[in-house]
């Protein structure tokens, strides 16, 4: 093992592996450090991986990567206790190359992706915890690990250590997060016969479907549920802000059971056998919660940099892109022989100018807004469901009468004004 690396990447998730892959490919001397038994053993996500950002790193990856199903349909269910208003899009252009996105199981995918980085020449070291950054004055020069004689040195350390990012915190790049900046998601992988999945979800072979669940799936708390099709399993999960669970004194696994037994979901998963139960935090504070992501000799990427677009359930794509840009930045710095914050600042500029920064900015106030005003999830989503029920129930009343009834159900003039104001405010935070 060399005394010093060009770069140490902490954490083998989408950000870290992308970074290590790109660096190794360019001939840099890179160590990829992972605390788990293997890459993916600590990693959890609902399961949607976006093709574009992965292909920016490995073209045609989908021809050999362990993917579950390409997604051809995305459904959205606005749920009440015994009803759901459903809409979605299905398009066969997503069933063929170049595809839009895929479901994946992270433990399988991350192992494959990390192996690709190793093939490029990265040194993968598992079962090793990065305890702290080694600093010289203001400059990060390496990582202290929990191995005997475990100090390793590098020109740059890239922190891809996930949502908790203890290392970025220990550098003072962010304070401790608050319960309204993170969502706690729990999910289950449920085994179900391949043919049954395809019949139940109206899919051909090698096609997949995602269903996002709003409203009663989280008992009105800010968050979403999801049901994704894998090859011969389903991923069913639910995530809400940690602050929501605290406020409502709700056990996350009981909420998961609530979704599993919900009359709108129950039959879709009938007979499916639980294979694994997983819990994980998702950084949802968005732009305002982003830590400092560049320092002397150090960069922060992926969940550790809070790069998640909760509104569009995107995160792994942002992680990969941030890892890729971090690698590009390290190479630039290496060429210049300067690893100061000034040179590494390229990372922040490029990241924030691209889709990652732009989308984070676009939705910067959304989580906070929907958390502060719970009526959207508590009242308006069920209201939409009731209006649909009114309109589609044929009972001899004229459609004009029905429209009047729906209008009356919205409440007094004052309540209607409040709804109008809320809709305007919602539009403002997502426009």
Partner 1 sequence: MTSAGNKGQSIEEKQYLLRFNADTKSHLTVMDADVCLTSCPDKICTIFCPAEVYKWEDIRMHVGYEGCHECGSCRIGCPHQNIKWEYPKGGHGIVFRLG
Residues that bind partner 1 (CB under 8 A): 35-37, 40-45, 47, 105-108, 126-129, 145-147, 163-164, 166, 176-179, 182, 184, 186-189, 233, 235, 242, 245-246, 249-253, 257, 260-261, 266-267, 269-281
**Least distance (Å) from partner 1 to the CB of residue 304?**
12
Neighbouring-strand partners of residue 134: 142
- Closer residue to partner 1 (CB): 89 or 277: 277
58 versus 265: smaller Cβ distance to partner 1? 265
Pairing mode, strands 4-10 and 30-33? parallel
Whichever of 234 and 387 has its CB closer to partner 1, that residue is 234
Min CB(249)–partner 1 separation in Å: 5
For the CB of residue 272, give the shortest distance to partner 1 in the complex, in Å.
Answer: 6
* Of residues 125 and 381, the one with the C-beta less far from partner 1: 125
Q: Which phi and psi (to 5°) does residue 225 adopt?
A: -110, 165
HEC string for the chain? CCCEEEEEEECCCHHHHHHHHHHHHCCCCEEEECCCCCCCCCCCCCCEEEHHHHHCCCCCHHHCCCCCCEEEEEEEEEEECCEEEEEEEECHHHHCCCCCEEECCHHHHHHHHHHHHHHHCCEEECCCCEEEEEEECCEEEEEEECCCCCEEEEEEEEECCCCCCHHHHHCCCCCCCCCCCEEEEEEEEEECCHHHHHHHCCCCCCCEEEEEEEEHHHCCCCEEEEEEECCCEEEEEEEEEHHHHHHCCCCHHHHHHHHHCCCCCHHHCCCCEEEEEEEEEEECCHHHHCCCCEECCEEECHHHHCCCEHHHCECHHHHHHHHHHHHHHHHHHHHHCCCCHHHHHHHHHHHHHCHHHHHHHHCCCHHHHHHHCCHHHHHHHHHHHHHHHHHHCCCCCCHHHHHHHHHHHCCCHHHHHHHHHHHHHHHHHHC
Minimum distance of partner 1 from residue 17's CB (angstroms): 16
Smallest gap from Cβ 40 to partner 1, in A, equals: 7
Residues 145, 151, 152, CA angle at the centre, nearest 5°?
100
Cα of 266 vs its chain's centroid, Å: 25
Nearer to partner 1, 83 or 240 (CB): 240
Least distance to partner 1, CB of residue 394, Å: 31
Q: Which is nearer to partner 1, 59 or 271 (CB)?
A: 271
Name the token pair of 65: 């990567």
Minimum Å gap between C-beta 155 and partner 1 is 24
What's the closest the beta carbon of residue 162 comes to partner 1, in angstroms? 9
By C-beta, is 102 or 347 nearer to partner 1? 102
Cβ-based nearer residue to partner 1, 37 or 349: 37
Shortest distance, position 145 Cβ to partner 1, whole Å: 7
Of the two residues 37 and 138, which places its CB atom closer to partner 1 in the complex?
Answer: 37
CB of 143 to partner 1, least distance (A): 12
Specify the residue, 109 or 376, whose C-beta has the smaller distance to partner 1. 109
């Amino acid at each position: 093992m060399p005394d010093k690396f060009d770069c140490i990447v902490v954490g083998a998730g989408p950000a870290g592996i992308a970074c290590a892959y790109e660096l190794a490919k360019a001939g840099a001397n890179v160590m990829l450090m992972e605390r788990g038994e293997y890459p993916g053993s600590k990693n959890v996500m609902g399961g949607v991986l976006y093709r574009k950002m992965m292909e920016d790193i490995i073209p045609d990856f989908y021809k050999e990567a362990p993917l579950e199903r390409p997604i051809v349909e995305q459904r959205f269910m606005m749920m009440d206790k015994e009803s759901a208003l459903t809409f979605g899009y299905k398009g066969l252009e997503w069933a063929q190359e170049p595809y839009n996105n895929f479901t994946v199981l992270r433990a399988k995918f991350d192992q494959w992706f990390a192996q690709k980085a190793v093939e490029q020449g990265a040194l993968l070291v598992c079962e090793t915890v990065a305890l702290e950054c080694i600093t010289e004055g203001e400059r990060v020069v390496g990582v202290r690990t929990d191995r005997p004689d475990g100090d390793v040195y590098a020109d740059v350390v890239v922190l891809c250590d996930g949502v908790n990012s203890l290392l970025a915190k220990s550098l003072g790049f962010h304070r401790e997060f608050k319960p309204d900046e993170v969502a706690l998601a729990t999910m289950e992988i449920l085994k179900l016969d391949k043919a049954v999945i395809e019949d139940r979800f109206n899919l051909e072979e090698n096609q997949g479907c995602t269903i996002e669940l709003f409203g009663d799936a989280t008992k009105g708390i800010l968050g979403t549920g999801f049901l994704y099709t894998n090859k011969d399993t389903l991923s069913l999960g639910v995530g809400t802000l940690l602050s929501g669970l605290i406020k409502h004194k709700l056990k996350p696994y009981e909420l998961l059971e609530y979704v599993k037994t919900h009359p709108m979901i129950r039959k879709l998963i009938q007979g499916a056998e639980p294979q694994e139960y997983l819990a994980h935090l998702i950084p949802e504070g968005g732009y305002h919660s982003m830590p400092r992501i560049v320092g002397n000799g150090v960069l922060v990427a992926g969940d550790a940099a809070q790069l998640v677009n909760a509104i569009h359930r995107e995160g792994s794509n942002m992680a990969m892109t941030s890892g890729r840009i971090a690698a590009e930045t390290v190479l630039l710095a290496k060429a210049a022989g300067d690893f100061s914050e000034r040179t590494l600042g390229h990372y922040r500029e490029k990241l924030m100018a691209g889709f990652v920064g732009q989308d984070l900015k676009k939705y910067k106030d959304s989580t906070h807004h929907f958390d502060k005003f719970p009526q959207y999830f508590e009242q308006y989503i069920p209201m939409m469901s009731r209006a649909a029920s009114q309109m589609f129930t044929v009972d001899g009343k004229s459609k004009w009468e029905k429209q009047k009834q729906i209008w009356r159900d919205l409440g007094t003039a004052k309540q209607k004004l409040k709804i109008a104001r809320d809709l305007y405010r919602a539009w403002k935070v997502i426009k």
